Amino acid sequence: MKFRPLHDRVLVRRVKEEEKSAGGIIIPDTAKEKPMQGEIIAAGPGARNEQGEITPLDVKAGDLVLFGKWSGTEIKLDGEDLMIMKESDIMGILA
């Protein structure tokens, strides 16, 4: 894939949810909510501050992150569903 986000934007792949509940009940696709966790695929160089200097991002490719339910813009690249969002939409990095 040849895509590089600009400024403080990141490209995220959602993490797949479990197909079964904790009690063993299989959840149909229509009842599932979209996961709010994802893996950073690519990250931009950072945003410019008031002095014109680039401030690097706190996230990098490979980080597992948690983001808001309605964050980002869904896109399709190379047949894969991905999301583009600003770093400020990310709530935190999962360890």
Burial label, 42 (beta-carbon count in 10 A; 0-12, 13-18, 19+)? middle
Confidence of residue 19 (pLDDT cuts 50, 70, 90): low
Nearest to 36 by CA among 68, 84, 60, 59: 68
Q: Tell me, what's the pLDDT at 30?
A: 58
Strand partners, 67: 90
- Cα torsion 88, 42, 82, 54: sign: positive
- H/E segment holding residue 94: strand 90-94
Distance (Å, whole) CA 60 – CA 32: 28
pLDDT tens figures, 29-86: 555 556 689 999 999 999 888 998 999 999 999 999 999 888 889 999 888 889 999 9
Q: Which residues contact 74 (CB under 8 A, 6 or more apart)?
A: 81, 82, 83
Q: What is the CATH number of domain 9-15+33-94?
A: 2.30.33.40
